[in-house]
C-alpha cells in the first residue's frame, strides 16, 4: 500500500521522557473529550515527512467522516467517509486513490466510541504542565502505523496529531482553534459525489 504520510503530515521534535507522576489528564478524561466532539472545523498546518509544509482547512464529522481541503498551490482534497479514505489530486485526471479507513491511524480519531484506556491500544502516554500526549495503534495490526495525539489542558483541547506510517515516516498536523458543533451535509464528505463532480 502506498504511504499516506505525504498527505496527512506532521513531524514533532523529540518528545521528552515524561514522568508518570506529572500526568494531569487521564485516558478516560481524554476519551470522554474526544467522544464529546460530534463535529469540528479548523485551519491546519501540516509538516510532511520530507520537511515540506502545507496548510488548509479540516472538517470532522464523527463518526467516520473528515475533509481536508488544502490551500493553493496544492490542489489536493482528502475525504474520509463510508469506511474509505480518498485522495483527490487536482493536478491529475486519474480517479482518486482510495484506502480502507480502518487501515489508517486516523480511524482512531473518527471512531464511534473512542476508548484510549484500552491497554492494548496505547503505545505510550505522558504529560507535563503544558501538554498530555497519547500514542495509539491497532494492537492486531501494528503495521498500519500509529497516531500520536497531543492535548493542551484547562480546558482539554486537541492541538496536534502525528501519524507514523508502516515505514516509520511521520506526518504532523497542527490544529488551530476548533469550532465545534456545526451541522454539515453528508455531501461535504461523500467520495462518490466528489468523484462524479470531477468527472462532469
More confident residue, 86 or 102: 86
User: What residues make up the domain containing 112?
Assistant: 6-13+20-199
Closest CA to 123 of 145, 96, 154: 145
Alpha-carbon distance of 74 to 6, in angstroms, equals: 12
Residue 18's pLDDT band, with cuts at 50, 70 and 90, is very low
Distances (CA, A) of 170 to 58, 85, 110, 198: 19, 18, 19, 30
55 found inside a domain: yes
Q: Give the pTM.
A: 0.83
Structural domains in the chain (count): 1
Q: What percent of the chain has pLDDT over 70?
A: 88
For residue 9, pLDDT beyond 50? no
Domain CATH number, residue 49: 2.50.20.10
Q: What is the pLDDT of residues 98-154, one digit of tens each?
A: 999 988 888 888 999 998 887 678 888 998 888 999 998 887 888 888 899 999 988
68-72 CB contacts, 8 Å cutoff, 24+ apart: 68/7, 68/8, 68/44
133 found inside a domain: yes
1 found inside a domain: no
The pLDDT score that the predictor gives to residue 8 is 37
Amino acid at each position: 500500500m502506498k504511504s499516506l504520510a505525504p498527505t496527512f503530515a506532521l513531524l514533532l521534535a523529540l518528545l521528552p521522557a515524561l514522568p508518570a507522576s506529572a500526568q494531569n489528564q487521564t485516558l478516560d478524561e481524554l476519551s470522554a473529550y474526544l467522544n464529546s466532539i460530534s463535529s469540528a472545523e479548523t485551519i491546519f498546518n501540516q509538516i510532511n515527512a520530507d520537511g515540506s509544509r502545507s496548510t488548509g482547512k479540516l472538517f470532522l464529522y464523527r463518526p467516520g467522516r473528515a475533509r481536508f481541503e488544502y490551500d493553493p498551490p496544492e490542489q489536493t482534497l482528502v475525504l474520509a467517509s463510508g469506511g474509505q479514505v480518498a485522495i483527490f489530486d487536482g493536478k491529475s485526471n486519474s480517479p482518486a486513490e482510495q484506502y480502507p479507513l480502518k487501515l489508517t491511524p486516523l480511524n482512531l480519531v473518527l471512531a464511534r466510541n473512542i476508548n484510549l484506556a484500552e491497554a492494548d491500544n496505547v503505545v505510550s502516554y505522558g504529560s507535563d504542565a503544558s501538554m498530555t500526549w497519547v500514542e495509539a495503534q491497532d494492537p492486531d495490526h501494528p503495521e498500519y502505523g500509529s497516531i500520536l495525539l497531543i492535548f493542551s489542558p484547562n480546558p482539554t483541547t486537541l492541538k496536534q496529531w502525528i501519524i507514523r506510517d508502516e515505514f516509520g515516516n511521520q506526518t504532523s498536523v497542527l490544529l488551530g482553534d476548533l469550532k465545534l458543533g456545526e451541522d454539515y451535509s453528508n455531501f461535504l464528505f461523500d467520495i462518490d459525489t466528489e468523484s462524479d463532480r470531477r468527472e462532469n
